[in-house]
């Protein structure tokens, strides 16, 4: 009779491989996953390998009642615990989320296991629990210590399992490992996480298959032979075989026990050596660039696997070269299949569009321009109370403006009672779209796009830009919009085939507030413009670029600049340049005069984005974003690309950019904090203190690579 195993969170790449391994080893697998960082589409991939779909339940480990119902239904022999948020950088930004999911979720699982008499567990831990003071290779009895919340949550659960084995008679096997290379030998499984948690192997193959990207090497000054960090790479299929061996070890134990093993291969390679392996496999020279190393990267985080080899009987079956060959063949095979099919015709439903200025409009326009240039066809369906209804062709993509009026400021209400409204919708239908995109939950354009997709039976993907509730000077508007979010839109959003968020903070907001699990972060693409503009040596240019509205808190910037100027004693002239327009423009101009800084402050009107990128951003010394509310501030990213010093308030998504480049992050709503940051930046103006940001992370090629994978997943 088959032994029954519960596998937590299985639809990611490791977990899906584990299901295949256990089913082939004649175990019955029951799987739970909350689908935060995975997709039901992987079920189809697994079915191609083992010819059937294992039993699956969409349950979060923190859902005690849902998890208990599964334990009532099945008589489990063991549990293999993978349910884990797993990105170092993300955990430093959202530590509470990691502790809640990884520790609290595990505590609920263990309590239910104990209540139902299931006492055997294999826990998938990490080599990041070893203290960085240890001399590699690490052994299981070395000092433990962590440098980030992800590793801390792993170590805490290890200790919890140790106590459970002593007090609750559990048999616990702990497996520690680190760097994986993945693709099943059948070429039917691959790593496709929902969030931007790319590995070195994934980044390498991005360069191979997406020619316009560079591979960024984080540091070449490590104490290693070639200066790059050394890692021990494990094939995912070997890894899951280890878990099978760990279960066999548990079976042989006649007592309640807890033990740990390092899972490594002795096949140590530096970053440059792994790149050389791929170049040998593909016969292609990769485009690389060395940038500053990250502060949590260790030089040689490798371990000694002798204990696992001796006690578990494990031996490496798949070499690093073969692992990379499997990954390359999978992607090559997938690419050939998709190149033989037509590219998607995409319709975007947006509330406003160019020449109206705003984040969504700019995103949709640049998305359309780059999509048409790189891919196939795109149509923009927009609503406007100040533009006539019309159809135009712009840069080889279509634009249809449907009749609407502004029911409140910046909230277009479609005039659905007009015959022309339905005529234009009929023309959109005749365009024969393959995919429908909508943008931002609180616009009616998104609701109409969803209805249109449902009636036309076209796959619908929603792109969410907001990582918080509507903030307005009107409390009534705030209450109405929140009611709309929690009622109509919460229900609507759950019907989307995928929800794309433009930031991880936005992804967490959508999941935590609305319970929408089919979310995936895809950063907005940015196309930096090459320029030869030289920064002035006689004056210091400080810039703010974007709308002049209350939530951008430009008045705080003006007050901070005035505070700084009172203390400024340098010979160089300092200028504050404010670019763009908005309802607060006149108020800000008057504030500048009342503060006595109008001679040093210049207000510009609306300037084309290309001119901002080509002339203004490269010529500035310091860029400031004083905003109270942000999505993913692309102006900050573009300023970093131009090697400018950047000051930004610590709001919402801005902190995510710190993973890729260094800049000054200051407290919001603080005139003093901004003033001190300006002083610090001016004093260090002659030293390049800002690290350049890896451009490919925010390139349109990267954006469309991920959209392309989403399209393949929902077909």
Give the end-to-end CA distance of the chain in Å, rounded to a whole number: 37
Residues 6+ positions from 400 with CB-CB distance below 8 Å: 379, 380, 381, 382, 390, 391, 424, 427, 428
Closest CA to 663 of 684, 640, 680, 641: 640
Helices (H) and strands (E) in the chain — how many of each?
A: 25, 27
| CB-CB contact of 295 with 130 (8 Å) | no
CB of 636 within 8 A of CB of 689? no
How does DSSP assign 440-476, residue by residue? -TTSHHHHHHHHHHHHHT--EEEEE--SS----S-HH
How far is residue 385's CA from residue 365's CA, in Å, rounded to a whole number?
19
Q: Are 278 and 328 in contact (CB under 8 A)?
A: yes
Q: Token pair for residue 191?
A: 């790593």
* Beta bridge mates, 519: 499
For 664, the token pair is: 């000054």
Half-sphere exposure of residue 548: CA atoms within 13 angstroms, side-chain side:
19
Decide if 667 contacts 649 (C-beta within 8 A). yes
CA-closest candidate to residue 445, choices 522, 353, 516, 583: 353
- Residue 704: name the closest of 375, 361, 316, 328 by CA: 375
Asked if residues 395 and 372 have their Cβ atoms less than 8 Å apart, the reply is yes
150 is catalytic: yes
Q: How far is CA 159 from CA 155, 162, 242, 385, in A?
A: 6, 5, 21, 61
How far, in Å, CA of 307 to CA of 303, rounded? 11
* String of DSSP letters for 358-417: SHHHHHHHHHHHHHHHHSSEEEEEEEESSS--EEEEETTEEEEEEEEEEEETTEEEE-TT
Token pair, residue 356, equals 């109206």
User: From CA 281, how far away is CA 213, in angstroms rounded?
Assistant: 19
Please give the Cα distance from 536 to 538 (Å, whole number): 6
Q: Find out whether 82 and 8 touch, Cβ atoms under 8 Å.
A: yes
177: left (phi over 0), alpha (psi -120 to 50) or beta: beta
Question: What are residue 615's phi and psi, to 5 degrees?
Answer: -115, -50
- Are 707 and 520 in contact by the 8 Å Cβ rule? The answer is no
The active-site residue, picked from 130, 150, 164, 177, is: 150
Tokens standing for residue 317: 């079956």
CA distance 704 to 340: 18
Q: How many CA atoms lie within 13 A of 703 on its CB side?
A: 23
Instruction: Using DSSP bridges, classify how beta strands 539-545 and 664-666 pair: parallel, antiparallel or unpaired.
Output: unpaired
Active site positions, annotated: 150
């Amino acid at each position: 009779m088959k032994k029954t195993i519960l596998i937590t969170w299985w639809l990611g790449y490791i977990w899906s491989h584990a299901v295949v391994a256990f089913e082939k080893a004649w175990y019955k697998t029951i799987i739970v996953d909350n689908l935060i960082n995975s997709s039901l589409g992987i079920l189809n991939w697994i079915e191609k390998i083992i010819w059937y779909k294992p039993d699956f339940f969409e349950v979060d480990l923190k859902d005690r009642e849902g998890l208990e119902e599964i334990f009532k239904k099945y008589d489990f022999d063991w549990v293999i615990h993978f349910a884990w948020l797993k990105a170092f950088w993300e955990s430093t930004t959202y530590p509470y989320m990691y502790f809640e999911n990884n520790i609290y979720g595990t505590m609920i699982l263990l309590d239910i296991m104990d209540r139902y008499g299931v006492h055997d567990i294999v826990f998938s831990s990490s080599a990041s629990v070893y203290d960085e003071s240890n001399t590699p290779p690490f052994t299981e009895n070395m000092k433990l210590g962590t440098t980030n919340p992800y590793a801390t949550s792993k170590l805490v659960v290890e200790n919890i399992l140790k106590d459970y084995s002593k007090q609750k008679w559990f048999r616990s096997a702990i497996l520690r490992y680190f760097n994986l290379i993945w693709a099943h030998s059948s070429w039917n499984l691959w790593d496709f996480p929902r969030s931007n948690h790319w590995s070195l192997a994934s980044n390498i193959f991005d360069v191979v298959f997406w020619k316009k990207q560079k591979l960024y090497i984080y540091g070449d000054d490590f104490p290693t032979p070639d200066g790059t960090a050394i890692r021990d790479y494990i094939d995912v299929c070997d890894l899951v075989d280890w878990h099978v061996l760990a279960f066999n070890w548990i079976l042989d134990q006649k007592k309640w026990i807890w033990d740990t093993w390092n899972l490594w291969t002795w096949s140590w390679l530096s970053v440059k050596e792994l790149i050389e392996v791929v170049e040998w496999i593909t016969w292609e020279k990769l485009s690389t660039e060395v940038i500053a190393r990250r502060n949590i990267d260790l030089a040689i985080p490798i371990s000694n696997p002798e204990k696992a080899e001796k006690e578990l009987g494990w031996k490496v079956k798949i070499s690093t070269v073969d692992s990379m060959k499997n990954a390359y063949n999978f992607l090559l095979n997938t690419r050939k299949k998709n190149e033989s099919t037509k590219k998607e015709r995409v319709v975007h439903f947006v509330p406003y569009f160019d020449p109206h200025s705003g984040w969504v409009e700019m995103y949709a326009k640049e998305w359309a321009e780059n999509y048409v240039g790189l891919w196939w066809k795109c149509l923009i369906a927009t609503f406007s109370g100040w533009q006539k209804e019309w159809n135009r062709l712009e840069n080889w993509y279509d634009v249809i403006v449907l009749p609407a009026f502004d029911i409140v400021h910046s909230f277009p209400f479609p005039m659905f009672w007009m015959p022309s409204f339905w005529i234009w919708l009929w023309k959109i239908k005749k365009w024969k779209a393959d995919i429908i995109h909508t943008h931002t939950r609180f616009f009616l354009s998104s609701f109409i796009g969803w209805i249109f997709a449902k009636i036309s039976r076209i796959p619908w993907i929603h792109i969410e830009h907001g990582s918080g509730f509507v903030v307005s000077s009107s409390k009534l508007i705030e209450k109405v919009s929140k009611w709309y979010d929690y009622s109509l839109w919460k229900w609507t959003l759950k019907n989307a085939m995928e929800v794309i968020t433009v930031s991880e903070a936005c992804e967490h907001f959508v999941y935590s507030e609305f319970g929408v699990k089919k979310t995936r972060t895809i950063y907005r693409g940015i196309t930096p413009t090459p320029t030869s503009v030289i920064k002035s040596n006689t004056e210091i240019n400080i810039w703010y670029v974007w709308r002049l509205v209350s939530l951008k808190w430009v008045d705080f910037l003006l007050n901070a600049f005035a505070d700084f100027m009172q203390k400024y004693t340098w010979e160089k002239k300092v200028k504050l340049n404010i670019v763009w327009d908005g309802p607060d423009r006149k108020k800000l101009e008057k504030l500048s005069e009342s503060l006595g800084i109008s001679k040093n402050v210049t207000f510009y009107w609306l300037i084309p984005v290309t001119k901002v990128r080509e002339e203004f951003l490269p010529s500035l010394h310091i860029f400031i974003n004083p905003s109270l509310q942000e999505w993913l501030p692309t102006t900050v990213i573009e300023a970093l690309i131009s090697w400018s010093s950047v000051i930004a308030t610590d709001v919402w998504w801005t902190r995510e950019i710190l993973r890729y480049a260094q800049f000054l992050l200051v407290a919001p709503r603080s005139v003093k904090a901004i003033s001190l940051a300006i002083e610090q930046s001016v004093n260090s103006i002659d030293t390049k203190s800002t690290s350049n940001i890896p451009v490919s992370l925010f390139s349109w090629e990267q954006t469309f690579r991920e959209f392309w994978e989403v399209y393949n997943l929902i077909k």
